[in-house]
Amino acid sequence: MPYTNVVLAFQNTTSPEYFNGMDDRNDVHDLFTKANFPFIRELMYDLNFTLNMVQLDKVGYKQNGTFSGVMGKFQNRSIELGCLGTLMRTERLEVADFMIVTLIIKSSIIFRQPPLSIVANIFELPFSVGVWACCFALMAIYWITMIAIRQLTSGERFGAIESLVYIIGTMCQRGSDIVPQFNGTRLLMFSLQLTSFFILTSYSASIVALLQSPSRAIASVGDLVRSPLKAGVMDTSYGRVYYQETQDPDVQELYRKKIKPHGEKAFLEPNEGIGRVKQEMYAYEGELNAAYKVIKETFAPEEVCKLQELEAIKLPPFGIPIVKGSKYRELIRQRLMWQREVGIIKRFNLIWIHQKPQCENLNAGFSSVGVVEMRYLYLFLAVGFLAALATLLAERSWWSGMAKKLKSRTAIIRRKNEA
């Protein structure tokens, strides 16, 4: 049975400069329209009707009882069919029916795990607490033993302070200019040097591995909120709506702390958002189809392996809408089901939906060590410098006081002798 002049609407984004026709696969915008248009076109040939298309800039949401965009056209019954996939929201069922789900689009947060050196002190990670405790206990045992040898012998030059300095220096692979007089002390020093050599070798190897290792600090949206990463969102109308409507406390906190304060600057195009993920400590939430396309074009194989994903907003399915109570609803639904059964829908999904890039070179490349990774060493150096300076000033003050006392006593003795 032929149908003529079926009024149909399709959606274009609020950035019309990106729209170059229904068959443009080079651009990621208007996916819900361009990916569904082949099914509508097949219906046109199958059911023998012509299209009278109306172009709108948004799907539309309900405000004050009235819908805008495509849903507004359904509400006033000026269109019959939508040439796009729209989110199946409860309020939209008031003005439209949804036939079948033609494609499923996921939206996830894409980010790189921050280096382990950013979120932790890597200089304390190579050893467990038990190993660190054993190291300090070993130093204490050697110190007590060297003091005991000094007490049992009269010619040994290693005192308590010299022994402590020597033990700390040996654990850091430093030598000493003091030569022990007895073979017992020499044997003790040799065993300490051999032990410290193996400890330091294990420690150094672990540090090298940790400097190149990504962290596992971000495993949830809550972890992302507490991390130093900045965040942005793909510039879509539903992104703004769903972040404001979400009931997830972690997602609410993410929006409140990392997105809302930046206003419109937080809503970015995929090439800019994914570019910032590549260059900065940045997390970008957007359609995976758009993100994967940019990643394939701009990321090296080893960079792909560093990407992680988190789902913040779970989007409902996308379905082709038709005006509420349409007499064509069942007929069109059956023909769309037929397109699914014979593989037409699957074929066009493979054409329009970009697949996730595969990690093919996990161990390639290396990360340079920067100032951030060495910050704890610089802090330790500064603390050591200040402690040495404070000790020097205290020693000078003490020796100055002792010199004054000695001078005073000498003067008193001299006056007594003169008297």
Mean pLDDT by 10 residues, the chain (419 residues): 44 54 66 83 86 80 86 88 84 89 85 78 81 88 84 72 82 74 79 86 82 77 88 84 85 90 88 91 89 89 86 84 89 91 88 83 63 79 89 88 80 72
Task: Please report the pLDDT score of residue 274 as a whole number.
Answer: 92
Q: How far is CA 93 from the centre of its chain?
A: 38
Residues 191 and 265 in one domain: no
The CATH number covering residue 339 comes to: 3.40.190.10
Same domain? For 244 and 303 the reply is yes
pTM of the model: 0.69
- The answer to the question of residue 219 being in a domain is yes
383: buried, middle or exposed (CB in 10 Å: 19+, 13-18, 0-12)? exposed
Q: How many domains is the chain built from?
A: 4
Structural domain contains residue 371? no
Are 303 and 221 in a shared domain?
A: yes
> Same domain, yes or no, for 86 and 132?
no
Among candidate residues 197, 212, 227, the one where a domain is terminated: 212
* Structural domain containing residue 259: 109-115+215-313
Residue 132 lies in a domain: yes
Are residues 24 and 42 located together in one domain of the fold? yes
Please check whether residues 92 and 124 belong to one and the same domain.
no
In a domain, 365, yes or no: no
Which of 283, 313, 343 corresponds to the end of one domain?
313
Q: Are residues 208 and 219 in the same domain?
A: no
Q: Residue 112: beta bridge partners?
A: 307
- 174 falls within a domain: yes
| 3-state percent breakdown (helix, strand, coil) of the chain, nearest 5 | 55, 15, 35
What's the pLDDT score for residue 3?
A: 42
CA angle 239, 245, 246 (to 5 degrees): 90
Q: Judge whether 18 lies within some domain.
A: yes
Q: DSSP label at 154?
A: S
Neighbours of 70 (CB within 10 A): 27
Q: Which among 108, 82, 45 is positioned nearest to 311, based on CA atoms?
A: 108
152 with 237, same domain: the answer is no
Q: Does 130 share its domain with 84?
A: no
> Considering the domain boundaries, does residue 368 fall inside one?
no
**Whole-angstrom distance, CA of residue 10 vs CA of residue 73:** 11
Assess whether 208 and 124 both reside in one domain.
yes
Q: What is the pLDDT of residue 7?
A: 46
Q: How far apart are CA 344 and CA 238, in angstroms?
A: 28
Domain shared by 322 and 279, yes or no: no
Residue 319 has a pLDDT of 86
In a domain, 21, yes or no: yes
Q: Do 101 and 127 fall within a single domain?
A: no
C-beta of residue 286 within 8 angstroms of C-beta of residue 266: no
From the centroid of its chain, how far is CA 145?
Answer: 50
Last residue of a domain, one of 172, 194, 212: 212
Residue written as tokens 């590549």?
A: 278
Collapsing DSSP to helix, strand or coil, 223 comes out as helix
